[in-house]
Amino acid sequence: MSRRVLVTGGGSGIGRALARGFAEMGDAVTITGRRMAALQETDGGRGMECREADVTDEAQVAALFEAPYDVVIANAGGGSAGKLRTVSLADWNATLAVNLTGTFLTFREALRGMGTGGRLIALASTASLKGGATIPAYAAAKHGVLGLVRSVALEVASKGITCNAVCPGFVDTPLAAQAVASVKDRYGLSEAEALAQVVAGNPMGRLVMPEEVVAAVVFLASKEASMVNGHALSVSGGEI
């Protein structure tokens, strides 16, 4: 039976891969984001429902849930690099808003109608599980996401709903490409040298592939994962 699946931040990167993965399994997929053109590119004729929405806006998030979803994936997120002394209050607030508040609003609305067997899944990060000298706001926000996931998991367990997080390392997406370019420019390295520095924390020495993240999320959304609850699944080659 086809499930109703919501993926926030579905216009690029991991969100795009997730949306296409669930659509290919025959699920009815709704994707959200702030740019309709990007959402339509993700769809590419696959029959997804594309909804413009900013996950930091309470009313816009609420409007997504006219009908309940079986699987809700809070994927929208982002943040800029910079040591704590250089982080402005505006950047700090914006990073917490999109990563943590956005997940809170998405999960809160999802639970108003979600029934037994429902799945709440947050795309967190290895930054949920460790610090980072140049990502203090992002790491703090993602630690908060994991705390939210663990708390919600306890709340919904008796209702037959699960809440989990997937925590990837650096994934082969445009964001990773930006990180490689930044390192290349900052230190005057070749692209290969910059990539090696970016993936240095991964014992396998490479970027995580988007389909590897999709596989982890698909498992957590499955009925076979009904006893996996409040878990942080690291997809990072042993980094964590």
Is residue 69 packed enough to be buried (19+ CB in 10 Å), middle (13-18) or exposed (0-12)?
buried
Q: Of these residues, 138, 141, 149, 216, which one is catalytic?
A: 138
138 assigned to active site:
yes
Query: To the nearest 10°, the Cα dihedral for 178, 179, 185, 186?
Result: 150
Strand partners, 43: none
- Find the helix or strand (DSSP H, E) in which 122 lies: strand 119-123
Q: Tokens 């704590």 appear where?
A: 84
Cβ-proximal residues to 192 (8 Å cutoff; 6+ apart), any chain: none
* Separation between Cα atoms, residue 7 and residue 18, nearest integer Å: 7
Neighbours of 218 (CB within 10 A): 18
* Separation between Cα atoms, residue 230 and residue 152, nearest integer Å: 8
Radius of gyration, alpha carbons of the chain: 17
Catalytic residues: 138
